[in-house]
Amino acid sequence: MAIIAPSLLASNFLNLESECKMLNESQADWYHLDVMDGRFVPNISFGPMLIEFFRKATNKVCDVHLMIEEPGNYAEAFKKQVPISCRCILKLVRIYIAIFSK
């Protein structure tokens, strides 16, 4: 079965509360949150502070896609957000260990 996980990067950031409300009322299964640091990928998105906001705004799974160069620098901040689904690309093992082994 397919999982519907709209990316919050496609949201209207001037109206995040209503965007979250709309997603909560939709058939979406998860929130997809792309964390980008401007180094691992050229774009910059949002970090743990906004993820905390999204987690408070929903009971749905927050699928966090980490695209960050030095995940160890953010280990404590992301660890506080558990439970989240945490998908990491490329440097998967190193990133996962850096976040969840501390």
Predicted local confidence at residue 65, as pLDDT: 81
- In this prediction, residue 82 carries a pLDDT of 58
Give the model confidence (pLDDT) of 72-86 as tens digits. 787 777 777 655 555
Beta pairing class for 30-36 and 85-88: unpaired
pLDDT of residue 68: 83
Quote the pTM value. Answer: 0.73
pLDDT score, position 62: 84
State whether the Cα torsion 80-81-84-87 is positive or negative: negative
d(CA 93, CA 20): 31
Q: What pLDDT, on a 0 to 100 scale, did the predictor assign at position 67?
A: 82
Q: Do the domain assignments include residue 1?
A: no
Count CB neighbours of 63 within 10 A. 18
96 burial level (CB within 10 Å; 0-12, 13-18, 19+): middle
The answer to the question of residue 15 being in a domain is yes
Q: What is the CATH number of the domain that holds 73?
A: 3.20.20.70
Within a domain: residue 18?
Answer: yes
- Whole domain around residue 32: which residue ranges? 8-100
CB-based contact 65:89 (threshold 8 Å): yes
Is 89 inside any structural domain?
yes
Alpha-helical (H) ranges within the chain are: 16-25, 48-56, 75-79, 92-100
31 found inside a domain? yes
| Residue 73, domain member (yes or no) | yes
Does some domain include residue 70?
yes
Based on the structure, what is the number of domains in the chain? 1
